[in-house]
Structure 1
Amino acid sequence: MRDFNATRKAGTETGEAPPDAIFTGPLAYMHNLVSTAQLKILLERKADLVLVNVLDRPEFAQEHIPGSINIPVAEIERIAPQLIKSSDLIVVYCRTSRCRASAVAADKLSTIGYDNVMRYSAGIRGWKAADLPVEGLYTDTRRAA
């Protein structure tokens, strides 16, 4: 998956968006962050939430937080309305706290009318660093490098 921070820097430095950029502007919305402990509690309580991994499908297949669905950030505006009700609590996540895809996805969801959007900014690596389980082809729960 492409580094969204690098894309943004490239667009900002030249004043133009790179031709393959998915997102180039500033984020319009600020989203509440959910911690690893908070997300774990929400999942244990089987809270009414939709947990969305916004990475590409191959990355999702490799590993993801149990119970999450996959909607790649590039497709979120098209696919989310088919799978998620506007009243749902949505928690989006990506790879790490340095990955910008979850922030972009949260912003896109808010733009198309979703009001209950939160970000799990620690991502899959933060989840694994807390020794929590993952699903997928690669299910080693040791700390991610």
Structure 2
Amino acid sequence: MKMKMMLVDDEERFLSTTQKLLSKKGYDVLTATSGGEALEKLRTGNVHVVILDVKMPGMDGIAALREIKRQFPTIEVIMLTGHATVESAIDGLKTGATDYLMKPTDIDEIIEKAEEAFMKRQNLEEKIRVARMRKIVKSPREIINEMDKT
């Protein structure tokens, strides 16, 4: 499965430059300039990892993170933060972010963190699949017990 990323930042130049660099490296990248736009796009696209800026007008990164985790609990979110907003990164981690990146960040660091988050999500999805299978497939003991009752 190929990772699909979303970058959420109100700085258009950062978005377009980063999207171009990630696309050149073969990544599928959506962008959004606000938390609201990100939530809209998440409803239609199967995104695995969101890289979310903390400081945005309107719905800030922490509010957007809360909403993403509420509506799409398996999406991994990496907070993008400046030096002045390190406290927000800590709040983000408490609220369910996987990790955070300090601005300015380079493309390799974004890729490394996104790949780690994607692996975490795949492991989680595998655990969910196994748990569902266990619920469907009964253990030999359960089958024997049911046979004894009839």
TM-score category of the 2 structures, normalised to the smaller one: 0.3 to 0.5
Flag the structure with higher helix content: 2
Structure whose alpha-carbon radius of gyration is higher: 2
Q: TM-score of the superposition, structure 1-length normalised? A: 0.39
